[in-house]
Structure 1
Amino acid sequence: MKASEIRELKDEEIVHEVRRLRRELYTLRSQAVTEKLENPRQFGVIRKDIARLLTEQTARRNQAKTAGAAE
């Protein structure tokens, strides 16, 4: 997921996407223990996507705070 795609998401969609990716990461960890993974690189990709989403979420929160303080 690219940063430009993340910026287009609504706040609720970001929360939903983070939850979905965390569930997927949990599933991958379980698979890694019980069976061989097809693509071990998925761990890093999912973790980076989660980080991008959380960064955008924090930026929006900070932007809202500064906008509220300016008023």
Structure 2
Amino acid sequence: MGLPQDATTVTVKDGSAVVTDGPWLGARHAVGGFAVVEAEDLDTAIALAARVPQARLGGAVEVRPAVKYY
């Protein structure tokens, strides 16, 4: 998983995806889990992240690129 500074954060407001660069800076800095998915491009990954319940219910989903560190 990529580093937090490489993240794109997705939240949903009024039914539309809101995209910001960088990690989520919400009131509670907690990881509720993670999933690894393959997407064609960043736009496809953002569309998928916007469908996750956490993004729709006041939280956020971070989208990070796959990175090889070795």
User: What is the TM-score when the length of structure 1 is the normalising length?
Assistant: 0.28
Structure with bigger gyration radius: 1
More strand as a share of residues: 2
More helix as a share of residues: 1
